[in-house]
Amino acid sequence: MKHLLPILIINIVFVILSCQPKNANHNETIETLEQFSELQSIIDSDEDKLWVVNFWATTCPPCIKEMPHFKELEEKYRDENLRILLVSLDRAKDLESRVYPFVKKHEISPEVFLLEDQNYSAWTDEVDPSWYGALPATLIIQGEKRNFKFGIYSTYDELQDDVEKVMGDE
């Protein structure tokens, strides 16, 4: 019996240390999506969820400037039925040299995906017919309710307002 107590204590300590905090970074690995249809499948998997999908690249200064707003949005709506996907349109060959270091340096916590599908004209219409692929661009969608913005969110309040418009639409 006395040998069980140390084993129990070690197991409890291990469990406590292995638990991730609620604001843990999802991006120990960044999933690469070969086709836009893979991203669409993720979004379609839960139509009740509010999706905030930001298309960006490490070479896009406005994209980098608005990135803190998405981090703040995730913190504010952590307990809501909201999921943020940051979809990098960097080249696949730049994943290790640019995307990972950027995500780590800026402590990006919303989920990051790398979309390899460079045939923009084939899928940008599916995001929004007015979009021709320039960055940054953000799609906020919940079921049939949607809001698309091409261009930078200069402030967090602008982003939050667009999220709340979709949340509040009936």
Q: What is the largest CA-CA distance in the chain?
A: 70
Opening angle at CA 154, ends 71 and 130, nearest 5: 100
> Side-chain half-sphere of 17: how many Cα atoms within 13 Å?
6
**Neighbour tally for 130: CB within 10 Å:** 10
Instruction: Please state whether the predicted TM-score (pTM) of the whole model is above 0.95.
Output: no
∠ CA 111-44-156, nearest 5°, is 45
pLDDT at residue 8, rounded to an integer: 47
Domains of the chain: 26-153 (3.40.30.10)
What is the reported pLDDT for 79?
A: 86
Quick one: pLDDT at residue 25?
A: 45
> Residue ranges of the chain with pLDDT lower than 70?
1-28, 169-170
Condensed to tens digits (0 to 9), the pLDDT of residues 95-106 reads 999 999 999 998
Q: Is 114 left (phi over 0), alpha (psi -120 to 50) or beta?
A: beta
- pLDDT, position 137: 98
